Structure 1
Amino acid sequence: MILAVAASQDVAFLDARGIPIVQVGDATFKAIRDYYPMFTNLHPLSVVQQEAVAKRATRATDRFAMATQWSIDSLVADYGVSSRNCVLAPFGPALEPSLPPTVALGEVGVLRALLVTSDWARKGGDLAVRVIDQVRQQHPGVTLTVVGNTPDALPDWVENLGRLPRQELAEQYERADVLLELATANAGGVTLTDAAAFGLPAIATDTGGVSSIVGNGTSGILVPQGADTFTAAVAAVETLLDLDVRSRYARGARAQHDATLNWEAWADAVTALCVEAVSSASHRGEMGTRA
């Protein structure tokens, strides 16, 4: 069988000669078109070409292992794929602690928020700063650390670390109390799976595939996208000032990592799907020979 990881264009023009194909992905073209900034306002010809590739690759694929329910829903609704041919297989983290994290209660009135971003605008960087600034009016022990592609001009109270090596980034996950990810578009987000590995609760906008990664009320808090995001995010940050609530969400985040957001669970799900695809193809071949 052929396992195609984020390779729809290759699959679309591959002569597989009857070999079953399993695609691994986290989005479809229709799901990200006019959703992610880089796929917004595309030239009409580009849209036609991308859709042709997506449809051709979808027809050629026997099974799909998708990272979120959002991506599966798009395959079913937009491309006519049977839900029976799809399995939810969330990705594991890019970073993991050397030892399983321990949940410490922390200090009363202190909350260290972390924002990790490769795209400041899409990840809601300015909004995150506004949210923490608002909370700090009543709770000055709340802080914000930003890592990644960040602007130079930020308030003095923001700890702006810029891009960091992997080990130093892992240290920031370890010292933080909550991951803040108020993204306007998010297929799933590796930062969310990283946070779960470190037992770090997340406050994130409920958009794209996020709800498959963050359990609202168990491993973090999902806030609505739109006009109410600011108010809901402020309330969520204030909720996590309660040490008992924060500890419960931290345990929930690590439990979700152990259950589904790890590469062993991903491999088990994808392996089972591959076996199923091969078995189904073999059965079709036998039936065809008998006919």
Structure 2
Amino acid sequence: MLNCLPRKLSDSNFDVIFAPACASETAFLEINTPIVIVEDANFALLHNYYAQFSNLLQRSYYEANTLEGLALTKAALVLHPSPWARLSSLENYHVAQEKVYAVPFGANVDTPPPAEVALTRKKSDQCTLFFIGVDWERKGGAIAFETLLKLEELGIQAELTICGCVPPPQFSHERMKVIPFLNRKDEKQRREMEKLFETSDFLFLPTRGECYGMVFCEASSYGLPSITTDTGGVSGAVTNGENGFMLPLSAGGAEYAELIAKVYRDDQRYAELVQSSRAAYENRLNWDAWGMTVTKLIHEMLEREEASRTTARSVPTIHINA
């Protein structure tokens, strides 16, 4: 299939080839049409960051890294959702600065909640924490559980809702609710998911590894502040003091509990955080904003490509007779 791809693309009149997460497919693609690569992280970042990219054979590492480098070099435009990923393309693959950008992804929702739903959010009588993810360990489930216990020690009556996974048996508490799975395609279950975003006080995800996290954008659309970890590309979606807070990877349950208690006890600070979380969504953490920025970048790239071709055509050819 890849062998016939250049011919098929050449036969079509495309202005741009848009290639999300397609480094291996475009690395050896010989075509004059400009390629735009979109990816949340490149191989250099994924290696030894996620379990499935760890302990690789030397040959596997070499091949994957080489493919990534070829694809990024070949691309006319490289789009990442975070400064973390952009910096890696610059430093690890030496991509030219003028063609690599950090543009935040939007929320993973078809229809965002109306602004009034988000902006009328009120803090609940019991501090409700919403943990969502399929990987209990990587998402920091043990730390979330420890935080629940530490909040109790601080005099905060908290509730923790786990959605998307089943914790190991040792993690059990009378104020911890587990919802193994919710299917967004089912209207009833989708509404249950929306209710969790609407009624929780914090999205709490002390993740151990994250390339970005569109769930933080979704939380912001509900005016729901996110409490998470400053790791990977999370800072592309969460800004401290605007739509949540990030703690260092070394932080444990005690540190998270202190932060949550401080914000939860300050009614004015919490209300301001709700407002600024929704504003963050409306201003940049949505797909319309992403689309407008990317459209502008693509047009600028096409202008550069045309200017480069014009310059190349205008260079005179000098013939020397022996």
TM-score of the two chains, using structure 1 as the length reference: 0.94
Is 1:36 the counterpart of 2:55 in the alignment? no
For residue 159 of structure 1, what is the aligned residue in structure 2?
Answer: 177
1:221 is displaced (CA, Å) by 1.2
Structure 1 residues without counterparts, runs of 5 or longer:
none
| Identity of matched residues, % | 26
Once superposed, which parts of structure 1, at least 4 consecutive aligned residues long, lie more than 4 Å away?
Answer: none
Rounded to whole Å, the distance in 1 between the matches of 2:157 and 2:142 is 20
How much has 1:140 moved relative to structure 2? Answer: 4.9
Q: Answer yes or no: is 1:128 the counterpart of 2:128.
A: no
Q: 1:105 is matched with which residue?
A: 122
Q: How large is the Cα RMSD of the aligned pairs?
A: 1.5
Alignment of 1:1-291 (within 5 A): 1-16=16-31, 18-95=32-109, 96-100=111-115, 101-108=118-125, 110-151=126-167, 153=169, 154-156=171-173, 157-166=175-184, 167=190, 168-226=192-250, 228-242=251-265, 243-291=267-315
Corresponding residue pairs, total: 288
Alpha-carbon distance between aligned partners in 1 of 2:108 and 2:73, rounded to the nearest angstrom: 31
- CA deviation after TM superposition for structure 1 residue 82, in Å: 2.2
Per-residue CA deviation, residues 14-42 of structure 1 (Å, 9 max, x unaligned), is 222x2111111111100111111221111
Quote how far apart the aligned CAs of 1:80 are.
0.5
Select between 138-147 and 259-268 the one with higher mean Cα deviation: 138-147
Q: Distance in 2 between matches of 1:82 and 1:170?
A: 42
User: Conserved in 2, the CA contact under 8 Å of 1:72 and 1:83?
Assistant: no
Give the distance between the partners of 1:11 and 1:56, measured in 2 at CA.
Answer: 8
Question: How far apart are the structure 1 equivalents of 2:217 and 2:101?
Answer: 18
* TM-score normalized with structure 2 length: 0.85
Is the contact between residue 118 and residue 149 of structure 1 (CA under 8 Å) also seen in structure 2?
A: yes
* Structure 2 unmatched runs, 5+: 1-15, 185-189, 316-322
Letter paired with 1:189: G
